[in-house]
Amino acid sequence: MTASVNTKAYQSLDAAHHIHAFLDQKQLNAEGPRVITRGEGLNLWDSDGKRYLDGMSGLWCTYLGYGRKDLNQAAFKQMEELVYYNLFFHTTHPRVIELSELLFGILPSKYSHAIYTNSGSESNELLIRTVRRYWQIQGKPEKKILIGRWNGYHGSTLGTAALGGMDFMQAMGGMLPDFAHIGEPYWFAQGAGLSEQDFGLKAAQELEIKILELGADKVAAFVAEPFQGAGGMIFPPANYWAEIQRICRKYDVLLCADEVISGFGRTGEWFGHQHFGFEPDTLSIAKGLTSGYIPMGGLILSHKMGETLVEKGGVFAHGSTYGGHPVAAAVAIANIKALRDEGWVDRVKNDTGPYLQKLLRETFDNHPLIGQVQGHGLVAAIQFAQDKATQKRFANENDIAWHCRSVGFEEGVIIRSTLGRMIMAPALVATHSELDELVEKTKRAVDRTGRELK
């Protein structure tokens, strides 16, 4: 489709002034970005009036879809009542109190305290400081190394890029000391010759090897996403998390789950760790907390950690102007109530989740370009592969997946490519017919990719 005059004007102004996230700006300027102007439910429209089915909930966040009036009104009402106040000067405000009450109503009873932030990156940056602070208070200040996973993603600040395992990100800002990494539990790519379960144990035991190498008295925490998202959408083998938990407990290492994309019902449980059956000491949250209607994140602490900080920690030198913002808190409250009271999480577990997973397997299990279909609830990945039986991947799998993503846009569906895999995470309010459309258009994009890259 040729861009309208309106679109061209937007594109040239954007090119003049804006540097976009994770893109080659020069290339983007030459191609011109799509200008997204409107959203309703799972649908987005661009400035030329083309409709897209959003298979990624924006950036894993618009759980309730676009255009929910109750969330908008919650923000507006709060703006009129108390648009802002901070949590510094011996003060608090009703919305942040109500939000905590609501959150600890849906969280497992192991957790008791929250610190609010404005994004997932900030939640994880805070996590780094909080676990180190925790060990200082416990009289073990030398326990300060955080272990993450290669290709894990925890944000794009200096600390979270160091904690995450994207080497190109670390190279950009300079690596920080006291971070270490283990491999990702990516059976399809790395487990050839091993059963998925044997590989799951082996991948988890890398943590034990790393702790012993560094010295347990120096390791503060292991941090990981329950399923790895931006770094390839890797779902661990079923026995992985139990083994990780056993190792963390054995060596007195905190287990920290980055629930930024797995929280708030994505897998059909409220939190990803519940779905995968382990009990972290901290949970980093954002995105689904407000369905992306307004920025907000947080760090959730277990009773043990919360009480340690409160009872023995004195002043915790941490805070931000907008952490716990009353308008964000009001939106989070409306969002969580809608997720809870309208039954969306149960629906993902018992209806739409199994529906999507079955449909994807029926469509792609025997597709000549696809080696593996994985997923839980409303999150899934399909892996491009040259040979499914031998798990042989394409040498240019990133180009293939990128092409498929672009073709997807042309077909009117937004799916994401990452490391040779196509990934999807539609809004929790998706209907069966929207999931049919998502899979059908994804198939068209995959088929076209096969034809066009031959």
Residues that bind ligand PLP (CB under 6 A): 59-60, 119-121, 124, 153-155, 225, 229-230, 258, 260-261, 286
Tell me if 356 sits within 8 A of 268, measured CB to CB: no
Residue 44 or 257 having the CB closest to ligand PLP: 257
Residue 159 or 200 having the CB closest to ligand PLP: 159
Q: Least distance to ligand PLP from the beta carbon of 290, Å?
A: 11
Residue 153 or 344 having the CB closest to ligand PLP: 153
Can you tell me the distance from the alpha carbon of 412 to that of 431, in angstroms, rounded to the nearest whole number?
17
Sheet of 51-54: strand order equals 36-40, 43-46, 51-54, 413-414
Residue 256 or 260 having the CB closest to ligand PLP: 260
Residue 55 or 371 having the CB closest to ligand PLP: 55
Q: Least distance to ligand PLP from the beta carbon of 233, Å?
A: 10
Q: Least distance to ligand PLP from the beta carbon of 58, Å?
A: 10
Phi and psi angles of residue 18, each rounded to the nearest 5 degrees, phi first: -125, 135
Other beta carbons less than 10 A from residue 372's beta carbon: 18
Tell me if 301 sits within 8 A of 114, measured CB to CB: yes
Residue 173 or 368 having the CB closest to ligand PLP: 173
Can you tell me the distance from the alpha carbon of 237 to that of 195, in angstroms, rounded to the nearest whole number?
10
Can you tell me the distance from the alpha carbon of 173 to that of 121, in angstroms, rounded to the nearest whole number?
15
Q: Least distance to ligand PLP from the beta carbon of 292, Å?
A: 9
Q: Least distance to ligand PLP from the beta carbon of 48, Å?
A: 28
Residue 19 or 389 having the CB closest to ligand PLP: 19
Can you tell me the distance from the alpha carbon of 133 to that of 299, in angstroms, rounded to the nearest whole number?
14
Q: Least distance to ligand PLP from the beta carbon of 60, Å?
A: 6
Q: Least distance to ligand PLP from the beta carbon of 155, Å?
A: 4
Q: Least distance to ligand PLP from the beta carbon of 22, Å?
A: 10
How far are the Cα atoms of 131, 211, 407 from residue 162, in angstroms, in the given order? 15, 18, 33
Q: Which residues of 252-291 are buried (b: 16+ CB within 10 A; e: fewer)?
A: ebbbbbbbbbbbbbbbbbbbbbbbbebebbbbbbbbbbbb
Name the pairing type of β-strands 219-224 and 254-258.
parallel
Tell me if 409 sits within 8 A of 438, measured CB to CB: no
Transcribe 114-155 into DSSP letters.
Answer: EEEESSHHHHHHHHHHHHHHHHHHTT-TT--EEEEETT----
Residue 170 or 391 having the CB closest to ligand PLP: 170
Residue nearest to ligand PLP (CB): 120
Transcribe 337-397 into DSSP letters.
Answer: HHHHHTTHHHHIIIIIHHHHHHHHHHHHTT-TTEEEEEEETTEEEEEE-SBTTTTBPPTTH
Q: Least distance to ligand PLP from the beta carbon of 154, Å?
A: 5
Residue 371 or 377 having the CB closest to ligand PLP: 377
Tell me if 327 sits within 8 A of 78, measured CB to CB: yes
